[in-house]
Amino acid sequence: MRAKVKILEVETGRFMVVINEEDAKKAKLHPEDLIKIETAKRTIYGEVVISNMVGPGEIGVTKDILSTYTFSEGEIVNVAPAGTPESVRYVKKKMKGQKLKKVEIEAIVKDIVDRKLRDIEISSFVTSLEINGLDMDEIAWLTVAMAETGDMLDIDRKPIMDVHSIGGVPGNKTNILVVPIVAAAGLTIPKTSSRAITSAAGTADVMEVLAPVTHSLDEIKRIVEKIGACLVWGGALNLAPADDLTIKAERALSIDPRGLMLASIMSKKYAMGSQYVLIDIPTGEGVKVETIEEARSLAKDFIELGKRLGQYVEVAITYGGQPIGHTVGPALEAKEALETIMTGKGPGSLVEKATGLAGILLEMGGVAPAGMGKKMAKEILESGKAYEKLKEIIAEQGGDPNIKPEDIPIGDKTYTFVAQTSGYVTKIDNRAITTIARTAGAPEDKGAGIFLHVKVGEKVKEEDPLFTIHAESEARLDQAIIQARRLEPIRIEGMVLQRIGNL
């Protein structure tokens, strides 16, 4: 059918095409059917929404489609059912636990990027990977397909360093410190991050409190060639574009299937032209990787994948048994990261992890002698050079380089839980902390999250504050309080485990 485009000021988070009720009846179109819109220059795909907000002979194009494609009001297009893409068959093949061929993986990725696969099919693909996994051949094909369906960055500075965490541990604002430390030593580190997947704040969510993180590839090239670093959101670029769409499904289910995680991370590194990559695997109870054995096996996969892509990869297995630092949630984490980089002092877990990771990168990049990287990273942090570099990054990305921790707005609806008994903090439950912070509104509500007054091993007295929930709305605060009462995220016990007398 021929139709006239009507631009709709509607945002749905999906590629939706609105068809009038009468037209839909005539064309036998049903809600959520996949249709194609053909113009002289291109074909784009979207899901049907039936509504009389458009008249007969019109189709409504939403802001989501317009963020990628240009349409003008009144433009005449051809609209037709698109049928079921062949790649759905390959998704079903993976659901049955079978190995996919290279061409099948390429077809799935291309159809995700072209929006031929709808959210429901993408979720099925992600779920099938969670259940049935991928072998190393499939992971490598998936990684390259994810990178090659998007743009590639070619930065005119070498070597290109990079760091990426598999995430999962609450409060992981570490890379906000690592990147400026490494760049202050003269190395080039174009860091792209995703937003939160399973946590209450991804590095992109935290950085966005300090400066815009959505930049074009040309802007990133300019910034990195000028100052040696950036801290941006990968999803804003046409860089491994399937990644953000699969992450959307992962976030909804709070899962991060191993094979997809490897491909997600390494496709972004490949597309950025990174040559030396450090992967952080937080390990501990309640995070993505719970044991050192699992971490070592994942590390082997990252290194093997790096070899296949022509990248030198090292892995740091880091402590993830409790949150990093004292804060969880975008604004609270940005405040803590800024305070730490400004003063060179901060929570031991944050400073140790950041300087440890930065130190490895300094050695990998050849600016620190073997075994001296961490010391050099600490000196750069304490000297204020890392802060100066972060200010440059903030300024180049369009933020206020003179922003102070106290300028950062934190959710003003608060509730503090106190100790019911005296004793020692023996456990902070990572999953519970993330659940409570997300219930309070993080990461979408930037000011929402948790401030931890105590960490594992500390002594508390009855009535001492344990943690404060911050929210931007009373309703979300109330829900978070209910969750916190149910989950009891902080355990306090006496330290004497047994007293044994005469046996």
Ligand X SMILES: O=P(O)(O)OC[C@H]1O[C@H](OP(=O)(O)O)[C@H](O)[C@@H]1O
Ligand Y SMILES: O=c1cc[nH]c(=O)[nH]1
Known binding-site positions? 168, 194-199, 203, 264, 288
- Note the helical H segments in 28-82: 63-66
Backbone φ, ψ for residue 153 (5° rounding):
-100, 140
Which residues are CB-contacts of 216 (< 8 A; sequence separation ≥ 6)? Answer: 237
CA distance 193 to 202: 7
CA distance 61 to 73: 9
Which residues are CB-contacts of 105 (< 8 A; sequence separation ≥ 6)? Answer: 90, 138, 141, 142, 145
Query: What minimum distance in Å lies between the beta carbon of 361 and ligand Y?
Result: 18
The residue (of 85 and 323) whose beta carbon lies closer to ligand X is 323
E strand spans, 321-422: 327-328, 413-418
Binding partner at 264 among ligand Y, ligand X, none, C-beta below 5 to 8 Å by kind: ligand Y
Binding partner at 198 among ligand X, ligand Y, none, C-beta below 5 to 8 Å by kind: ligand X
Nearest position to ligand X, beta carbon:
167
Binding partner at 365 among ligand Y, ligand X, none, C-beta below 5 to 8 Å by kind: none
Nearest position to ligand Y, beta carbon:
264
Q: By CB under 6 A, name the binding residues for ligand Y.
A: 166-167, 194, 197, 256, 260-261, 264-265
Binding partner at 175 among ligand Y, ligand X, none, C-beta below 5 to 8 Å by kind: ligand X
CA distance 449 to 352: 23
Q: Which residues partner with 282 through β-bridges?
A: 318
Binding partner at 261 among ligand X, ligand Y, none, C-beta below 5 to 8 Å by kind: ligand Y
Residue of 37, 220, 240, 44 lying closest to 152 (CA atoms): 240
- Selected catalytic residue, list 256, 280, 301, 429: 256
DSSP, collapsed to helix, strand or coil, labels residue 43 as strand
Residue of 340, 378, 347, 383 lying closest to 362 (CA atoms): 378
Strands 490-493, 449-452: pairing kind: unpaired
The residue (of 169 and 386) whose beta carbon lies closer to ligand Y is 169
List Cα–Cα distances, 449 to 89, 169, 192, 329, 434, in angstroms: 42, 14, 23, 4, 9
Query: What minimum distance in Å lies between the beta carbon of 456 and ligand X?
Result: 19
Q: By CB under 6 A, name the binding residues for ligand X.
A: 164-165, 167-168, 175, 193-194, 196-199, 202-204, 256
Give yes or no: 256 in active site.
Answer: yes
Which residues are CB-contacts of 92 (< 8 A; sequence separation ≥ 6)? Answer: none
Strands 229-233, 189-193: pairing kind: parallel
Residue of 209, 165, 198 lying closest to 445 (CA atoms): 209
Contact in structure between 78 and 84 (CB atoms under 8 Å): no
CA distance 460 to 111: 55
Which residues are CB-contacts of 23 (< 8 A; sequence separation ≥ 6)? Answer: 1, 3, 29, 56, 57
Binding partner at 203 among ligand X, ligand Y, none, C-beta below 5 to 8 Å by kind: ligand X
CA distance 155 to 152: 10
Residue set of the binding site for AMP:
168, 194-199, 203, 264, 288
Query: What minimum distance in Å lies between the beta carbon of 403 and ligand X?
Result: 20
Residues acting as catalytic residues: 256
